[in-house]
Amino acid sequence: MNFGRVLKISIGCALSILIASVFSIQNYISAGLITLLSLQNTKKETIKLALQRFIALILAISISYIFFTILGFNLLAFSLYLFFFSLISIYYNLTQSIPMCTVLVTHFWIRGDISMPFILNEVCLFITGAGVGIILNLFIRRKIAEIKNSQAKIEDLMRKIISQISDVILGKGNVLEIHENMAKLKKLLSKAKERAHDASNNTLLSDLNYYINYLDMRKSQYIVLDRILDALEKFTHLSFIPSTSESLSQFLKNISSSFHEYNNAVSLIEELNTLKSQIKESPLPQSREEFEARALLFSVFNYTEHLLIIKKNFADSLSPDEKRTFWSDKYCNLPTQTNF
**SS3 for 283?**
coil
Mean pLDDT score, 22-26: 91
Confidence tier at 7 by pLDDT (50, 70, 90)? confident
pLDDT tens digits for range 71-95? 999 999 999 999 999 999 999 988 8
Find the Cα–Cα–Cα–Cα dihedral 181, 221, 203, 135, rounded to 10°: -40
Q: Is the pLDDT of residue 10 over 50?
A: yes
Considering the entire predicted model, what is its pTM? 0.60
Angle at 97 between CA 96 and CA 99, to 5 degrees: 90
Best CATH choice for the domain 144-332 from the list 3.20.20.10, 3.40.50.2000, 1.10.3720.10, 1.20.120.940: 1.20.120.940
Q: Is the pLDDT of residue 331 over 50?
A: no
pLDDT tens digits for range 288-311? 666 676 777 778 888 888 888 998
Spatial separation of the C-alpha atoms in residues 266 and 270, rounded to whole Å: 6
pLDDT tens digits for range 128-178? 988 888 787 766 555 677 888 888 899 999 999 999 988 888 878 778 899
pLDDT tens digits for range 225-278? 999 888 887 766 666 666 677 888 888 888 887 776 666 677 788 787 787 777
Within the chain, all domains assigned CATH 1.20.120.940 are found at 144-332
Decide: 266 and 337 in contact? Cβ < 8 Å.
yes
Mean pLDDT score, 3-27: 85
